[in-house]
Amino acid sequence: MIERPELLDPRKQKKSGPLWTLLYVFIGLIIAFLVGLLLTTSRYLNVEVSGASMEDTIHDGDDLYAVKYHGNAERGDIIVIDVSDIKHFQSKGDEVYIIKRLIATEGDTVRLKDGAVYITYAGTDEEILLEEPYAKGETDPRPHINDGEFITEWTLEEGEIFVLGDNREVSDDSRVVGPLQRDHIIGVVLDWNFVDPRGWDAFSSPFIRFYLDIVRFFS
């Protein structure tokens, strides 16, 4: 009787089939994770909050995720800004990032009056009161770093943005350093960092955060 070659023995092939399937699935999962790791780390930024300038929206020690881009940041977004080249912030380190709320963009005029923010949006003539349920304290003028004057009005030039911290009484923001540059925005904080615990997003965001936490651990 001619003995079958070992690799052609149908009985042994049958026994090894499920093991090979599991191996292929395992390899596929590893590849998918590595691809996801590459794509995620290139798109998302993890930041730890230091300070009280964004209370009560964000607190000292909070761990947040932001999308890495600046071109599509809109008014009302909470953004991460690189202020390493601004002397006022340089005492805090070589690379300094701040988290503020984007209030106005190029062409807008911002005016502080009676503890509130008024804006004339680009291309319009009507000045409106900015509704800010997130703001803590009065939005009073603060001494500008260059001359110590209490400036109350700014018209933003091309590429400029105006930012404020939600905690208006302690925040160093555009009232102190003036308008910043849009291309200094390095990330926009994702909305699901602040989901309503009663809403549907409360179920999805923990899974998203868990995945991003794993990505951060391996990156």
If residue 45 lies in a helix (H) or strand (E), which one and from where to where? Answer: strand 44-48
The token pair at 124 is 């319009």
Q: Which of 100, 136, 171, 205 is catalytic?
A: 100
Kindly provide the b/e burial profile for residues 99-113, where b requires at least 16 CB atoms within 10 angstroms of the residue's own CB: bbbbbbbeebbbebe
Is position 92 annotated as part of the catalytic site? no
Is position 100 annotated as part of the catalytic site? yes
Exposure of 82 in the CB half-sphere (CA atoms within 13 A): 14
Beta-strand runs (E) in 90-201: 97-105, 109-113, 116-120, 127-129, 153-155, 160-164, 180-181, 185-189
φ and ψ at residue 207, rounded to 5 degrees: -70, -40
Q: Which of 14, 16, 42, 53 is catalytic?
A: 53
Q: Is beta strand 63-67 parallel, antiparallel or unpaired with respect to 78-82?
A: unpaired
- State the catalytic residues: 53, 100
